[in-house]
A and B are shown apart, each in its own frame.
Chain A
Amino acid sequence: ETGVTQTPRHLVMGMTNKKSLKCEQHLGHNAMYWYKQSAKKPLELMFVYNFKEQTENNSVPSRFSPECPNSSHLFLHLHTLQPEDSALYLCASSQGGGVTEAFFGQGTRLTVV
Chain B
Amino acid sequence: KQEVTQIPAALSVPEGENLVLNCSFTDSAIYNLQWFRQDPGKGLTSLLLIQSSQREQTSGRLNASLDKSSGRSTLYIAASQPGDSATYLCAVPSTGTASKLTFGTGTRLQVTL
Contact = CB atoms under 8 A, between A and B. Distances in A.
A101 B34 contact: yes
Nearest to B49: A101
Interface string A40-57: 111101001010000110
Interface string B81-113: 000000001010100011111111110000000
Interface stretch (A59-67, A68-76, A105-113): A105-113
Interface in B2-50: 4, 31-32, 34, 36, 41-46, 49
Interface in A79-113: 88, 90, 92, 94, 96-107, 109
A21 interface: no
Contacts of A4: 43
A40 B10 CA distance: 12
A31 B46 contact: no
Interface size class of A (residues with CB under 8 A): 20 to 34
B45 to A, nearest CB: 7
Interface of B is mostly: strand
Nearest to B5: A42
A104 B44 contact: yes
Contacts of B101: 43, 45, 98, 102
Contacts of B105: 40-42
B54 to A, nearest CB: 13
A40 B51 CA distance: 28
A34 to B, nearest CB: 12
A6 interface: yes
B43 A97 contact: no
Residue with the greatest number of chain B CB neighbours at <10 A, chosen from A6, A90, A102: A102
B43 A6 contact: yes
A41 B99 CA distance: 20
A98 B4 contact: no
Contacts of A56: 97, 99-100
